[in-house]
Amino acid sequence: MSKKKITLTIVFTFIILVFIGLILYFFYKPMPIIDNPENCEIVKLAYNSSYEKGNSEFTELSEFNEQDILTCLSNYKEKKTFAICKGYSLNNYQFEIYIDTGNDLKSIHLGHDSFSSLSYGSHKYQIVNDEDLKNDLLKIIEEGQIYEKNN
């Protein structure tokens, strides 16, 4: 091969690799768990008080500050994975949250393998900094319970 063909092959390969890299970056970059908390509604918020013991004793919470929780979720990020949501064991999760985003029903599971998904068979989204998110949600829920007791 001539020097010109080798140079063109290297340049073309480089351009293709950069293009593929950009596509993967924009497709899998971290993004907020929910975009517009003002347009969302929590359908279900359940807490597993036996999470540390490996049991599943979920309590569906009815008294909580919905806007604070939605705002908290919008401050954390998730990133798309290659994994597909094919069911899960509730023993592995501390929180189970279902949110109506206006367009979809999004499920969020926080625990050993924290993820969100739109439905069974769809891609899983890995929650970034899930331990911090769980702690922040616990604080919001506890503050809400203290407020309810004082009023």
Those residues with Cβ within 8 angstroms of residue 42's Cβ, 6 or more apart along the chain or in another chain: 64, 66, 69, 70, 97, 98, 99, 100
Global pTM? Answer: 0.80
The enclosing H or E element of 116 equals: strand 115-117
Asked if residue 22 has pLDDT above 90, the reply is: no
Closest to 83 measured CA to CA, from 126, 112, 24, 119: 126
Greater pLDDT, 79 or 62 = 79
Q: Best-predicted range by mean pLDDT among 17-31, 58-72, 79-93? A: 58-72
pLDDT at 1 exceeding the cut of 70: no
